[in-house]
């Protein structure tokens, strides 16, 4: 049987298996976890959408003997039948998944962008007081770059509008910023710049942005470093868990993806550069940012060095958003840390719509103050 026939058979049999399993399992479950009687007769789609779906998933998680399997089965069935996932993800076309953080729009979005730029201006001045130049690297939303894979034209248009607004306001404040969107739009015509099932970019996307940073902000000094490809690695997208998991992910078209990470090699010594910091008293560039920069799989720091010919000290952090790594870096400047010529701040623009993004800095303004001493 071919893969296509196997997938089709799975798609046809999964709903039947789901309801068969649910009927048997629910019959044996304690009555204390049975759903409350509804005043309206639910339709078939309602079993996979909204509150009824949430109740079913909680029911399966808490009461079924194979609850994880049941949750994955419900998720796979909903994705096949309705093209939806749970809260946390928006499903697009052709197996593309998008974080719902990219759809967090409100009437005060422009004010939130302005607030962010005002805070960034404070950081920029703090660094400038030490003779350090700030270079902003805004990363556009995946829903913007892959708008053709998303049946949400208004959302994709808003994503681009936020990026453009951010760039314009940075320019008004005299803050250097790299146009990464143009680089990613051009690169995605031929290659994958974001993983289909993950929030993050691919090494191809990271390389395109590193090239833009070199050309627009840091200059190019070829022949010093080389980004060397490593072994292929399989990656499970971080958004798949909001739909299904296990064997079901593969059968519904959300299986593992493959990337090739890169490491940095010095052309002059022909050795792998394991630690760009070393014991140097000064570093040309410090990279601050999120998991786009911190995760070695995406290879942004090696590409940044290879494109610019400069040592890059990576101060990015995983899972803490764009501000926490910068706050930590600013605090380190008061501890005798090596002072760079430039700080590259990788900043995903989807965070600009988070009303609580700067709440911590509002409570800890003294941290920014440390950077000016």
Residues 73, 14 contacting (CB under 8 angstroms): yes
Q: Answer whether residue 348 shows pLDDT above 90.
A: yes
Query: What confidence tier does 271 reach under pLDDT thresholds 50, 70, 90?
Result: very low
- Helix, coil or strand: residue 193: coil
Q: Answer whether residue 277 shows pLDDT above 70.
A: no
pLDDT of residue 338: 72
Give mean pLDDT, residues 66-84.
Answer: 84
Give mean pLDDT, residues 264-289.
Answer: 65
pLDDT of residue 335: 64
pLDDT 10s digits, 140-156? 999 999 999 998 999 99
- Helix, coil or strand: residue 228: strand
Q: Answer whether residue 53 shows pLDDT above 90.
A: no
Closest Cα partner for 302 from 331, 326, 266? 266
First CA to last CA distance, the chain: 70
Is the four-CA dihedral 153, 159, 160, 165 of positive or negative sign?
A: positive
Widest pairwise Cα distance in the chain: 76
Rounded to whole angstroms, the Cα distance separating 347 from 330 reads 16
Q: Answer whether residue 30 shows pLDDT above 50.
A: no
What residues are labeled active site? 198, 200, 291
Domain range summary for the chain, segments of one domain joined by +: 3-84, 106-370
Query: From residue 104, how far is each of 112, 125, 127, 134, 349 by CA, in Å?
Result: 12, 30, 31, 28, 12
- Helix, coil or strand: residue 222: coil
Q: Answer whether residue 32 shows pLDDT above 80.
A: no
| 61-65, 323-327, 354-358, range with greatest mean pLDDT | 323-327
Give the full edge-to-edge strand order of the sheet including 312-314: 176-177, 133-139, 342-348, 285-288, 312-314
CA 346 to chain centre: 12
Residues 316, 288 contacting (CB under 8 angstroms): yes
Query: What confidence tier does 272 reach under pLDDT thresholds 50, 70, 90?
Result: very low
pLDDT of residue 276: 42
Percentage of the chain beyond pLDDT 90 is: 62
pLDDT 10s digits, 91-123? 999 999 999 999 999 889 999 999 999 999 999
What is the value of pTM for the model shown? 0.79
| 77-86, 176-185, 242-251, 348-357, range with greatest mean pLDDT | 176-185
Query: What confidence tier does 43 reach under pLDDT thresholds 50, 70, 90?
Result: low
Query: What confidence tier does 266 reach under pLDDT thresholds 50, 70, 90?
Result: confident
Which of these ranges, 73-82, 227-236, 303-312, has the smallest mean pLDDT? 73-82
- 223 CB neighbour count, 10 Å cutoff: 9
What is the overall mean pLDDT for the chain?
A: 82
pLDDT 10s digits, 160-210? 999 999 999 999 999 999 999 999 999 999 999 999 999 999 999 999 999
């Amino acid at each position: 049987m071919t893969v296509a026939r196997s997938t089709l058979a799975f798609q046809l049999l999964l709903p039947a298996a789901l309801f068969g399993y649910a009927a048997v399992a629910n019959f044996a479950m304690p009555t204390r976890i049975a759903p409350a009687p509804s005043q309206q007769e639910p339709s078939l789609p309602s079993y996979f959408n909204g509150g009824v779906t949430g109740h079913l998933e909680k029911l399966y998680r808490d009461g079924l003997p194979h609850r994880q399997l049941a949750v994955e089965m419900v998720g796979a069935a909903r994705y096949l039948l309705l093209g939806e996932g749970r809260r946390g993800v928006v499903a697009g076309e052709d197996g593309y998944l998008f974080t719902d953080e990219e759809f967090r729009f409100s009437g005060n979005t422009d004010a939130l962008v302005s607030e962010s730029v005002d805070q960034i201006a404070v950081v920029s001045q703090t660094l400038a007081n030490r003779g350090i130049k700030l270079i902003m690297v805004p990363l556009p939303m995946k829903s913007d770059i892959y708008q053709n894979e998303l049946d949400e034209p208004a959302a994709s248009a808003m994503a681009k509008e936020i990026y453009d607004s951010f760039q314009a306001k940075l320019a008004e404040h005299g803050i250097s910023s790299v146009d990464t969107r143009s680089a990613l739009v051009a690169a995605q015509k031929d290659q994958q710049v974001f993983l289909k099932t993950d929030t993050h970019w691919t090494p191809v996307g990271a390389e395109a942005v590193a090239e833009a940073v070199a050309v627009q902000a840091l200059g190019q000094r070829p022949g010093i470093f080389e980004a060397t490809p490593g072994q292929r690695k399989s990656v499970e997208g971080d958004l798949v868990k909001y739909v299904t998991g296990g064997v079901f992910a593969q059968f519904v078209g959300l299986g593992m993806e493959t990337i090739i990470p890169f490491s940095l090699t010095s052309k002059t010594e022909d050795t792998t550069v394991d630690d760009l910091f070393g014991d140097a008293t000064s570093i040309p560039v410090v990279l601050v940012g999120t998991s786009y920069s911190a995760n070695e799989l995406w290879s942004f720091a090696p590409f940044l060095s290879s494109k610019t010919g400069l040592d890059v000290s990576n101060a990015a952090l995983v899972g803490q958003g764009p501000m926490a790594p910068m706050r930590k870096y600013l605090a380190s400047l008061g501890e005798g840390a090596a002072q760079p010529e430039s700080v590259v701040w990788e900043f995903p623009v989807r965070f600009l719509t988070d009303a609580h993004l700067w709440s911590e800095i509002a409570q800890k303004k003294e941290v920014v103050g440390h950077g000016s001493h």
